[in-house]
Structure 1
Amino acid sequence: MAEIIQCIVAYPSRTQAGSPAKFDMDYYLKTHMAMIDQYWGPHGMKRWRISEFAAKNPLTGSEMPYIVQTTIEWDSVDDLKRALSAPDADKTKEDIPKFTDVVPEIWVSKVAAAK
């Protein structure tokens, strides 16, 4: 299996002050992710996938810690670093307050196995 790097952007379900997070999924899908395609695509981004979580875990009824998670795949960490340091990279960061009032958590992983 060829190496696959994932950049996971997770949006918490609560603000830092503890109130429920706001998230405009329509804006996120139509505008923000179009920016991601435009600015990151030329740097080797392969694909992205968005998961939206219910307010309550359907298995336990407890509050979900995140409301949205976006997984973006790359061939290498270097490709991801190039995208994040490109001249237009700040435009994607500056866009975040237009669709949410939380600070996303960003994780980077290597896919160890897949079926």
Structure 2
Amino acid sequence: MVWCISCQQPTSSDTSKIKKGMIKVAILYPNTEGKTFDMDYYSNKHMPMVAGLFGDSLKLYTIDKGIAGRTPDEPLPYVAIGYFYFDKLSAYHNSFGPNAETILGDIPNYTNIQPIVQISEVLH
């Protein structure tokens, strides 16, 4: 699922906004026994709230809903992965820092999974 920040409507054409050199913040939610995840809350409340807090420094965000592992016999590795795209790493740090308490405080509203965060540079 791809979300256009300016219009807040999903559209697949917005992936064209992803450019080489951008910073991608991936938030991965591992699938482990006994863990819960409310995809409706995550996609309709949490991620839009975070996008609003990040403001204009956030260029785009996307959400992946896990559906299968590598083979039919393998368990799903992640129930969800959220991505935030910024022009510069400093834009992410300046956006997240002042809002960290609000963002992290909302996590128990949709999951009991400890997310893994990976910050990357888009190469292609």
TM-score of Structure 1 vs Structure 2, range by shorter chain:
0.7 to 0.9
RMSD: 1.6
Which residue in the other structure is 1:68 paired with?
80
* Structure 2: stretches of 5+ with no match in the other structure: 1-18
Aligned pairs for 1:1-115 (under 5 A) are 3-14=21-32, 19-42=33-56, 44-54=57-67, 56-57=68-69, 59-86=71-98, 88-113=99-124
Superposed CA deviations along residues 71-112 of structure 1, whole A, max 9, x for unmatched, are 1100000000001112x3311100001100100000000011
Provide the C-alpha distance between the structure 2 equivalents of 1:90 and 1:69, rounded to a whole number of angstroms. Answer: 20
Provide the C-alpha distance between the structure 2 equivalents of 1:40 and 1:61, rounded to a whole number of angstroms. Answer: 39
Q: Which has the higher helix share?
A: 2
Is the contact made by 2:20 and 2:123 (CA closer than 8 Å) also made in structure 1? no
Superposed CA deviations along residues 39-98 of structure 1, whole A, max 9, x for unmatched, are 1124x01101101112x4263420122110011100000000001112x33111000011
User: Higher relative CO (CA 8 A, sep ≥ 6), structure 1 or 2?
Assistant: 1
TM-score (norm 2): 0.78
TM-score (norm 1): 0.84
Structure 1 residue runs of 4 or more that deviate by more than 6 Å after TM superposition: none
Provide the C-alpha distance between the structure 2 equivalents of 1:6 and 1:81, rounded to a whole number of angstroms. Answer: 12
Is the contact made by 2:64 and 2:82 (CA closer than 8 Å) also made in structure 1? yes
What is the identity percentage for the equivalent residue pairs of Structure 1 and Structure 2?
25
Count of residues paired in the alignment: 106
